[in-house]
Amino acid sequence: MTIQNELDEFRIFAKRLSRKHQIRHHDALDIIARQKGHPHWKALMKAWDQGWRPEPWDVVDINESSIIESPIRGFDKVKTTEGEIAGEPYTLSVYFDEVLISGSGWGIHLGHAPSEPAEIETYTKPNPLDDKAFFSQVMKIAMEAADGVREAIAKDWGPASMQPDKDGCVKHPLFGGVSAEWFCMHCDARSTGAQMAANMWHCPKCNATPIDIFAASFWKAG
């Protein structure tokens, strides 16, 4: 593999990362640079010019990462179903990593992280969600769909990321790297491997996404 191709691996991965998480491409490049021990992409490029090279397994980890689309659950694929509860119609939309259920005058969104509360919006008063029995049925349908999404993602990521070993270590599902403790760049929280796996690699404290989770709090250095 040539020098240019090694850098291309990082750039291609950054494009996939930015597309999945809807972040800017240069932000995705900075995330990859931090994973490789550099504060940002420009620093990585400067280090490259000075002779730094990624280890062979660094590039392999990126190629093996489950950020690559599943052939069944693509980022742009949406499964939509319709139904009724007590005569009230609803639409359930299941995306790659989230669920939206909505009806006349209301909508409920469930994200990727189990710890993240449902986002509930109402647009009319009175509202069908005011009925506790109706609301309970809606949430049951939405939660079952969200559980299905999380199970599919866990399968994509594999047991190395979702099942801690005897030492409590798990592998970061996007960037690779194995550790028994993980740090959130967003809120500085420290979590165990088991906690990260249980919360689908979102910070248990602030719900930050996997791209903010690292095996070392390098941003505190210096």
Choose the final residue of a domain: 157, 184, 202.
Answer: 157
121 and 185 part of one domain: no
Query: What pLDDT, on the 0 to 100 scale, is given for residue 59?
Result: 59
105 and 151 part of one domain: yes
Distance CA 150, CA 138 (A): 18
53 and 100 part of one domain: no
**Cβ of 184: how many Cβ atoms within 10 Å?**
22
88 and 147 part of one domain: yes
Write the burial class of residue 112 (CB in 10 Å: 0-12 exposed, 13-18 middle, 19+ buried): buried
Choose the final residue of a domain: 134, 157, 180.
Answer: 157
- The conformational region for residue 217 under phi > 0 = left, psi -120 to 50 = alpha, else beta, is beta
Query: What pLDDT, on the 0 to 100 scale, is given for residue 57?
Result: 57
Query: What pLDDT, on the 0 to 100 scale, is given for residue 10?
Result: 78
Q: Establish if 73 belongs to a structural domain.
A: no
Choose the final residue of a domain: 124, 157, 190.
Answer: 157
What pTM, to 2 d.p., does this model score?
0.67
Top-confidence residue, 184 or 79:
184
Q: Establish if 72 belongs to a structural domain.
A: no
- Calculate the CA dihedral of residues 28, 31, 35, 36 and round it to 10 degrees: 70
Chain centroid offset of residue 17 CA = 10
Write the burial class of residue 217 (CB in 10 Å: 0-12 exposed, 13-18 middle, 19+ buried): middle
53 and 103 part of one domain: no
Q: Establish if 7 belongs to a structural domain.
A: yes
Q: Establish if 74 belongs to a structural domain.
A: no
Encode pLDDT of 29-38 as tens digits.
887 787 777 8
Distance CA 222, CA 220 (A): 7
Q: Establish if 70 belongs to a structural domain.
A: no
Distance CA 142, CA 109 (A): 8
Query: What pLDDT, on the 0 to 100 scale, is given for residue 222?
Result: 55
13 and 44 part of one domain: yes
Percentage of the residues of the chain whose pLDDT score is greater than 70: 83
Q: Establish if 130 belongs to a structural domain.
A: yes
Token code pair at residue 23: 């972040």
49 and 92 part of one domain: no
32 and 101 part of one domain: no
32 and 97 part of one domain: no
Domain that holds residue 106: 79-157
176 and 117 part of one domain: no
User: Which is it for strands 99-103 and 88-94: parallel, antiparallel or unpaired?
Assistant: antiparallel
Report the candidate in 8, 27, 4, 10 with the shortest Cα–Cα distance to residue 62. 10
Q: Establish if 69 belongs to a structural domain.
A: no
Is the pLDDT confidence value at 1 over 50?
A: no
User: Structural domain tally of the chain?
Assistant: 3
**Phi first, then psi: what are they for 93, rounded to 5°?**
-115, 120
Q: Establish if 172 belongs to a structural domain.
A: yes
184 and 145 part of one domain: no
Encode pLDDT of 140-189 as tens digits.
999 999 999 999 889 888 999 999 999 999 999 888 889 999 999 889 99
86 and 150 part of one domain: yes
